[in-house]
């Protein structure tokens, strides 16, 4: 049985940047990452891929190429936790022990929770930017939209990574149709399991103006529950306490944001809260029950927007607190709940929402970021992908 000083579950955005920053601060740490995937993805650019302005190949790299030197990569999937024995057991049946554990396996996309979705996604004009496989198909669908068509964009009632992404694709589609001169001849409908457009007033007001400008119809408290690709029918359920009514509608194209949860192996573990997310102190990112366990990224129960932007602010907090614990100092770093949502509201136009716990607006730039701007679009399209591959994953940003 192999033993590591620090064992990290997940070699995605959070796991790789945590390992890299730990080693920048303390070279002699003995770290391993359990990660089954041969590939690493830059997911935020999939919105741009779906709009036809970013090459999908630039969003994927070999996992090996992002693994920090001096980190042992265990190419297996974590399956069970025995925190009382400081042990993780993998799906391959191997056990690994640790002094400290960092849990970062991201969020799970539950395609299976919408009846018929798995069978039809990627064809019949049913698409999703939430996957490397299907994001390019979104653009193929866009090109086929005709006057008279009805297009749906869904958002589930579960938490999602990048809560703005279900809307970003909608605004890009609307602007695509506007540029083609057929926007007013196409019906665009947003169907959300949530109850509002955006949780923060300032940005919600700005987005409402954009919705009005494009003539998008909004429906709240409706979850997509079934889809029949061949018949081009989607069934939605009203999410109310009385066990809501269902409604079936014909579509010509539908962009689906799948329901999401913590991964199954996490939900079945002793590490979670009642809702199945890893239970950590929202400021220190230390587990509430097991002192030598930390967690960050999409899998935690911290009440922030689940984004890579949040991960960027969580990593230095976790790293400094973990090193303090190793060196028997007190933990002083606190995560503010910062997250950001770069809302692409049209080709060359972006609203950069930035906020922390309790919906506190936390903007970076000295101008009103609720206003759509070309500079912020350039930031998303050119600066952030570069920053991700060259700085964030290397632990220097």
The least CB distance from residue 243 to ligand FAD, in Å, is 30
Does residue 321 sit in helix, strand or coil?
helix
The DSSP result for 322-353, as a single string, is: HHHHHTT----------EEEEEEEETTEEEEE
Joined tokens for residue 288: 């509430």
Cβ-closest position to ligand FAD: 12
CA–CA distance, 192 with 152 (Å, rounded to integer):
10
Given the rule CB under 6 A, which residues bind ligand FAD? Answer: 9-15, 34-37, 43-44, 46-47, 77-78, 104-106, 129-130, 161-162, 165, 263, 265, 297-299, 306-309, 311, 340, 342
Task: Select 140 or 228, whichever has its Cβ closest to ligand FAD.
Answer: 140
Nearest to 323 by CA among 31, 87, 66: 31
Task: Select 78 or 211, whichever has its Cβ closest to ligand FAD.
Answer: 78
The least CB distance from residue 261 to ligand FAD, in Å, is 13
CA–CA distance, 16 with 20 (Å, rounded to integer):
6
Does residue 227 sit in helix, strand or coil?
strand
Residue 141 a catalytic site member: no
CA–CA distance, 232 with 326 (Å, rounded to integer):
57
Residue 162 a catalytic site member: yes
**Catalytically annotated residue among 162, 216, 224, 256:** 162
Task: Select 35 or 279, whichever has its Cβ closest to ligand FAD.
Answer: 35
Task: Select 337 or 342, whichever has its Cβ closest to ligand FAD.
Answer: 342
The least CB distance from residue 44 to ligand FAD, in Å, is 3
The least CB distance from residue 161 to ligand FAD, in Å, is 4
The least CB distance from residue 91 to ligand FAD, in Å, is 7
Task: Select 223 or 298, whichever has its Cβ closest to ligand FAD.
Answer: 298
Contacts of 270 (CB under 8 A, 6+ apart): 81, 83
**Catalytically annotated residue among 101, 227, 315, 341:** 341
The least CB distance from residue 241 to ligand FAD, in Å, is 30
Task: Select 237 or 255, whichever has its Cβ closest to ligand FAD.
Answer: 255
Joined tokens for residue 313: 């602010």
The angle at the Cα of 176, spanning 175 to 180, to the nearest 5 degrees, equals 110
Cα dihedral angle (373, 167, 308, 129), rounded to 10 degrees?
-120
Q: In whole angstroms, how far apart are CA 31 and each of 4, 16, 110?
A: 6, 11, 31
Cα dihedral angle (129, 130, 135, 140), rounded to 10 degrees?
-50
Catalytic residues: 162, 341
């Amino acid at each position: 049985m192999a033993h590591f000083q620090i064992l990290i579950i997940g070699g995605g955005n959070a796991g790789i940047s945590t390992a890299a920053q730990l080693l920048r601060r303390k070279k002699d740490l003995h770290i391993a990452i359990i990660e089954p995937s041969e590939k690493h993805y830059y997911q935020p650019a999939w919105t741009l891929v779906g709009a036809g302005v970013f090459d999908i190949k630039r969003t994927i790299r070999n996992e090996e190429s992002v693994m920090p030197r001096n980190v042992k990569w265990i190419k297996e999937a974590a399956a069970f936790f025995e925190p009382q024995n400081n042990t993780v057991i993998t799906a391959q049946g191997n056990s690994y022990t640790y002094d400290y554990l960092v849990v970062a396996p991201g969020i799970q996309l539950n395609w299976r929770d919408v009846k018929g979705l798995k069978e039809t996604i990627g064809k019949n004009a049913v698409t999703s930017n939430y996957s490397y496989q299907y994001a390019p198909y979104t653009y193929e669908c866009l090109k086929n939209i005709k006057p008279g068509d009805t297009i749906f964009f869904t958002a589930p009632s579960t938490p999602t990574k990048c809560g703005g992404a279900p809307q970003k694709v909608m605004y890009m589609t609307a602007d695509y149709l506007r540029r083609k001169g057929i926007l007013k001849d196409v019906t665009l409908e947003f169907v959300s399991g949530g109850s509002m457009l955006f949780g923060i007033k300032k940005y919600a007001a700005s987005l409402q103006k954009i919705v009005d400008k494009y003539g998008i119809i909004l429906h709240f408290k409706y979850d997509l529950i079934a889809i029949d690709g061949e018949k081009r029918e989607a069934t939605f359920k009203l999410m109310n306490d009385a066990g809501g009514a269902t409604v079936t509608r014909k579509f010509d194209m539908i962009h689906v944001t799948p329901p999401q949860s913590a991964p199954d192996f996490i939900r079945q573990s002793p590490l979670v809260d009642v809702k199945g997310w890893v239970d950590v102190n929202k400021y220190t990112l230390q587990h509430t029950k097991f002192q030598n366990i930390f967690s960050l990224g999409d899998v935690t129960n911290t009440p922030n927007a689940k984004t890579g932007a949040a991960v960027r602010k969580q990593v230095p907090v976790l790293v400094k607190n973990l090193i303090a614990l190793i060196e028997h100092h007190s933990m002083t770093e606190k995560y503010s709940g910062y997250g950001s949502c770069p809302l692409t509201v049209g080709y060359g136009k972006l609203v950069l929402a930035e906020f922390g716990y309790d919906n506190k607006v936390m903007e970076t730039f000295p101008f009103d970021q609720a206003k759509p701007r070309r500079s912020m679009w350039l930031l998303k399209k050119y600066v952030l992908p570069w920053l991700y591959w060259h700085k964030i994953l290397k632990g220097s940003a």
